[in-house]
Amino acid sequence: MTLPPAANKLQNIPVGSRVVVRYRIAEGLTDALGYLSGVTDTECTVQTRTGDVVIALELVQAAKMVPPPPPRRPP
């Protein structure tokens, strides 16, 4: 199986890094923003605010590291 270039790039990002991954779904494209918690030869897992998102690498369209979230505003 030949992976998209973005998936190959994702495999080189260190686990624990904050990432955004754009991937294909039935309705088009969507993004997962969070911390890369694992990468195998076929899928990656991104820990988002709402839970883990497991993404097949063949569906990845774009991926990159992103800076940490801004600090929360005081109430």
Q: What is the pLDDT of residues 18-71, one digit of tens each?
A: 999 999 999 999 999 999 999 999 999 999 999 999 999 999 999 999 999 888
**What pLDDT, on the 0 to 100 scale, is given for residue 5?**
85
Residue 72 lies in a domain: no
Q: What is the pLDDT of residues 33-43, one digit of tens each?
A: 999 999 999 99
Q: Nearest to residue 19, comparing CAs of 41, 43, 40, 44?
A: 44
Domain of 42, CATH number, reads: 2.30.30.520
Q: Give the three-state DSSP class for 58.
A: helix
| Count of structural domains within the chain | 1
Residue 75 lies in a domain: no
